[in-house]
Amino acid sequence: MTLFREALKEGTATLEMAGIYTARLDAELLLSYACKINRAKLLARLNDEVPDDKLNFFYSYIEKRASRYPLCYITGHKEFMGLDFIIREGVLIPRPETELLVETVINMLPEDAAVIDLCTGSGVIAISLAHYLYDATIYAVDISKTACKIAKENASKLRVNNRVRILNGDLFEPLPVNLKVDAVVSNPPYIKTGEVASLMPEISYEPIEALDGGESGLEFYNKIVEGAVAFLKDNGVLALEIGCDEADDVVQLMKSEYRNIEVLKDMAGMDRVVVGRLRN
């Protein structure tokens, strides 16, 4: 007989030994997932016995997480902007700091805005914009067919598939040539090629093409800053997530075609978003 609190203690210890600093939280989430109950119910049942079949699932999940396999690839879900998204191998795992990009764009646009989201991945940016801008139309683009498939699942799950158009292709290539939008947004790959291998072990499970921004980390910014000009309406918004050391370079890229350029910091005080408006 194993109680919930005993299973949690054991799972937490295993994850701590593996160097996972969120060991207790991860153990709680994995036990909740194994038992198909939410975390609040789990914490109310700490002195109850865990059914053997659920316990076996839990231990297998703990073993997998201890190998530094990402938590949300195990559970298949990740919360972003208060919404529950399907996340699987083949798409970048959404980070909380990306919410700043979404919130910034929401505050700058009308409810019926048209928006292009490049490098959409699982669709969290595009779908969040469609959810909170009730009449918006979003064109979400990704070069990965796997990402597009998952983004479509998320758009259907969150009931915005009638306003989020998922397009498979390279940046602006699959978009209608005469399309004009109120904003272009992107969280593109921005890690320097030489730095990818030194990142946290969990990141090695994420798709390299969603991380690697080329030798300088700026490869995608060059293309997006230039390409957005043809698609933005007058005074249209360009909003980009950046690496914490890339603000000056991205601002420099935008200066000739954009005005009112701002660099916004995330909750950790790091440069995270660059936003500007197309010059008339």
**Residue list for the binding site for S-adenosyl-L-methionine:** 142, 187
Burial 204-236 (b: 16+ CB within 10 A, else e): eebbeebbbbeeebbbbbebbbebbeebbeeeb
Contact 255, 276 (CB under 8 A): no
Q: Which residues are annotated as a binding site?
A: 142, 187-190
Contact 7, 50 (CB under 8 A): yes
Distance separating alpha carbons of residues 198 and 127, to the nearest angstrom: 31
Contact 227, 186 (CB under 8 A): no
The answer for residues whose C-beta is within 8 angstroms of residue 232's C-beta and 6 or more apart is 180, 181, 182, 183, 184, 238, 278
Q: Which residues are annotated as a binding site for substrate?
A: 187-190
Comparing CA positions, the residue from 17, 54, 21, 18 lying closest to residue 35 is 54
